[in-house]
Chain A
């Protein structure tokens, strides 16, 4: 089965006054229909750029974006418009993603009118009410005439999600969609996204810096860990959190605070050699993680860029040492 949407060795370079920055470097990711997946990484690791590449808002410098097997950047006209509608982005900042001069009704009805899902205001109002109910803004009558500034952050984010739903998308990319709202409503927003994904078979890609959020959201799906523009580990949430293979994933998981102090104390921690993230302008040679990596081997990691390779069982890792050790382990148990 081919993936619904796929990044095929996609790179994106930005030209800045300080020199070119490769925000995303040969990233390959495939998403199936109805899947809930998380991209995790520190700030500056290229996860937002990946999200924008995925939605087709940014053109890749190289590589292909495939939707239903077709190269999106080679399609034109109606096909391209269809792709744009099929993939929607929910932005990080709900204070910036809604137009302050437009009411909730105006915001939600514009795409309905434009794409002929409603012909009269009455039809549009019915659809808008339905959408608002779907994102738990009830009763809808209280919200249709409101301007964004009259809503709370969580309510705005729900309106933004409702707006994405107006065009019946197949994929929703939620870029840090819960990081700007109060912790108390994060879970309900995550649940809402998951429910929408299940109900309508929408693929949901959540981009976050918070592994705790990722673990909750993608508990039945996969997590991709990004570091300085590359995917370093891609695995089922269960196995990634329980047994991270890449030293960077291990460090991230070690940093999740646990509610139980006993667990926190006994938890395995990874001692990074440096807390400093290298500048994107001067990326380290070889594996970009090697200056911080506890497993780094001179002569290997600082020279050769690790590929994202499958290791037993059921995951992909971009680390020379981890791949070697895991493969050896597997061979030992088989023998």
Chain B
């Protein structure tokens, strides 16, 4: 029975063409309102961060007469301590945050998959070494280590920050990938591939990992949320050079300029918080819906 359940095809396998896979995916998603909202939330914020700046001119001129305005038609989200439009900053402030989150998630997933699967397949001393490094990384409190690294290295570019975040995030996925691969590599079809001399690369990337892809996608999304939190936290603490404009820097200035104490500044401090929370919420609800969709046992008929 177990083998029948495990062998049951997941979403992508049941359908031949990518077009049908997409349609089927949207159909299953549409039955999960929370996931659907999350999906549209993600699309909205991606458009906001990467497409909207093309159409909206950047406004960076301080205006002393417009400080801490409440929302109006001219300034839908009010203005900040320099009289700059908050909505404009929200539009321009998403790109860096999301780029760093995506790069960090991508890198950490890549590290985890590569080393986790290679360690599991090859085994022996390599496996022991990888597991040891992973366990050590897992036991160190991440935020404190991140603060220490940021304080020492002073990341100047956002790509650099993304790399640091990635280096702190791979460990839990690696353990899970390794465990999965350890069980998958005992499957008969993997043994057949070994016997056919198809090579390590084929076995890992063609036979084993495709059966884990749902898992990897979900983890990727979740590690994006993690990277965002860590990133905003580290900006808020002022551990990266504050330049340009993003949601984290908005929060940093809002707090630094005492926005917490002015009633009129509510919109200024709340806007980036809302933007960050909504992105996180969208990612999390989309990920949980994906878990349902990819899991044939949880999927309703």
Q: Do A and B originate from a single complex?
A: yes
**Once the chains bind, are B3 and A96 in contact (CB under 8 Å)?**
yes
Q: Is B210 an interface residue (CB 8 A)?
A: yes
**Once the chains bind, are A100 and B188 in contact (CB under 8 Å)?**
no
Q: Is A99 an interface residue (CB 8 A)?
A: yes
* Distance between B83 CB and nearest chain A CB, rounded to angstroms: 57
Q: Is B187 an interface residue (CB 8 A)?
A: yes
Write out, one digit per residue, whether chain B residues 180-221 have a CB within 8 A of any chain A CB (1) or not (0).
Answer: 000000011101111111110010001100110000000000
**Once the chains bind, are B9 and A110 in contact (CB under 8 Å)?**
no
**Once the chains bind, are A166 and B196 in contact (CB under 8 Å)?**
yes
Query: A100 contacts which chain B residues (CB < 8 A)?
Result: 7-9, 13, 211
User: A59-67, A130-138, A144-152: which one contacts chain B?
Assistant: A144-152
**Residues A114 and B4 in contact in the complex (CB < 8 Å), given A97-B189, A101-B211, A160-B192:** no
Q: Is B16 an interface residue (CB 8 A)?
A: yes
Beta-carbon nearest neighbor of B4 in chain A: A95
Q: Report how far A148 CA is from B211 CA in the complex, Å.
A: 14
Beta-carbon nearest neighbor of A145 in chain B: B16
Interface residues of A in 51-99 (CB under 8 A from B): 55, 57, 81, 84-85, 87-89, 91, 93, 95-99
Q: Report how far A248 CA is from B188 CA in the complex, Å.
A: 31
**Once the chains bind, are B202 and A147 in contact (CB under 8 Å)?**
no
**Once the chains bind, are A149 and B13 in contact (CB under 8 Å)?**
yes
Query: A145 contacts which chain B residues (CB < 8 A)?
Result: 16
* Distance between B252 CB and nearest chain A CB, rounded to angstroms: 46
Beta-carbon nearest neighbor of A101 in chain B: B210
Q: Report how far A111 CA is from B195 CA in the complex, Å.
A: 10
Q: Report how far A164 CA is from B189 CA in the complex, Å.
A: 12
Write out, one digit per residue, whether chain A residues 155-179 have a CB within 8 A of any chain B CB (1) or not (0).
Answer: 0000010011011000000000000
Interface residues of B in 1-34 (CB under 8 A from A): 3-4, 7-9, 12-14, 16
Q: Which interface class (under 10, 10 to 19, 20 to 34, 35 or more) fits B?
A: 20 to 34
**Once the chains bind, are B202 and A114 in contact (CB under 8 Å)?**
yes
* Distance between B172 CB and nearest chain A CB, rounded to angstroms: 25
Q: Report how far A85 CA is from B197 CA in the complex, Å.
A: 7
Query: B8 contacts which chain A residues (CB < 8 A)?
Result: 100, 149
Q: Is the interface of A mostly helix, strand, loop or mixed?
A: loop
Q: Is A115 an interface residue (CB 8 A)?
A: yes
Q: Which residue of A88, A91, A147, A149 is within 8 Å of B196 (Cβ)?
A: A88
**Once the chains bind, are B195 and A55 in contact (CB under 8 Å)?**
yes
Q: Report how far A215 CA is from B14 CA in the complex, Å.
A: 40
Q: Report how far A89 CA is from B14 CA in the complex, Å.
A: 28
29 chain-A/chain-B pairs, Cβ below 8 angstroms: A81-B197, A84-B195, A87-B195, A88-B195, A89-B192, A89-B195, A93-B3, A93-B188, A95-B3, A95-B7, A96-B187, A96-B188, A97-B192, A99-B189, A99-B207, A99-B210, A99-B211, A101-B9, A103-B16, A110-B193, A110-B198, A110-B206, A111-B198, A114-B196, A114-B202, A145-B16, A147-B9, A166-B196, A167-B197
Query: A326 contacts which chain B residues (CB < 8 A)?
Result: none
**Once the chains bind, are B3 and A163 in contact (CB under 8 Å)?**
no
**Residues A96 and B196 in contact in the complex (CB < 8 Å), given A101-B13, A110-B202, A114-B202:** no
Query: B202 contacts which chain A residues (CB < 8 A)?
Result: 110, 114
Query: A114 contacts which chain B residues (CB < 8 A)?
Result: 196-199, 202
Q: Is A198 an interface residue (CB 8 A)?
A: no
* Distance between B242 CB and nearest chain A CB, rounded to angstroms: 47
A-B residue pairs, 6 tightest by C-beta: A97-B188, A101-B210, A91-B188, A99-B189, A96-B188, A111-B196
Query: B16 contacts which chain A residues (CB < 8 A)?
Result: 103, 145
Query: B193 contacts which chain A residues (CB < 8 A)?
Result: 110
Q: Is A119 an interface residue (CB 8 A)?
A: no
Query: A96 contacts which chain B residues (CB < 8 A)?
Result: 3, 7, 187-189
Q: Report how far A53 CA is from B9 CA in the complex, Å.
A: 32
Interface residues of A in 100-132 (CB under 8 A from B): 100-103, 110-111, 114-115
Query: A88 contacts which chain B residues (CB < 8 A)?
Result: 195-196
Q: Report how far A95 CA is from B187 CA in the complex, Å.
A: 11
**Once the chains bind, are B7 and A149 in contact (CB under 8 Å)?**
yes
* Distance between A26 CB and nearest chain B CB, rounded to angstroms: 25
Q: Report how far A100 CA is from B13 CA in the complex, Å.
A: 7
Q: Report how far A111 CA is from B194 CA in the complex, Å.
A: 11
* Distance between B217 CB and nearest chain A CB, rounded to angstroms: 14
* Distance between B121 CB and nearest chain A CB, rounded to angstroms: 15
Q: Report how far A252 CA is from B128 CA in the complex, Å.
A: 47
Q: Report how far A163 CA is from B194 CA in the complex, Å.
A: 12
**Residues A167 and B196 in contact in the complex (CB < 8 Å), given A101-B210, A147-B13:** yes
Q: Report how far A96 CA is from B188 CA in the complex, Å.
A: 6
Beta-carbon nearest neighbor of B194 in chain A: A57
Beta-carbon nearest neighbor of B211 in chain A: A101
Query: B210 contacts which chain A residues (CB < 8 A)?
Result: 99, 101-102
Q: Report how far A88 CA is from B198 CA in the complex, Å.
A: 13
**Once the chains bind, are A102 and B192 in contact (CB under 8 Å)?**
no
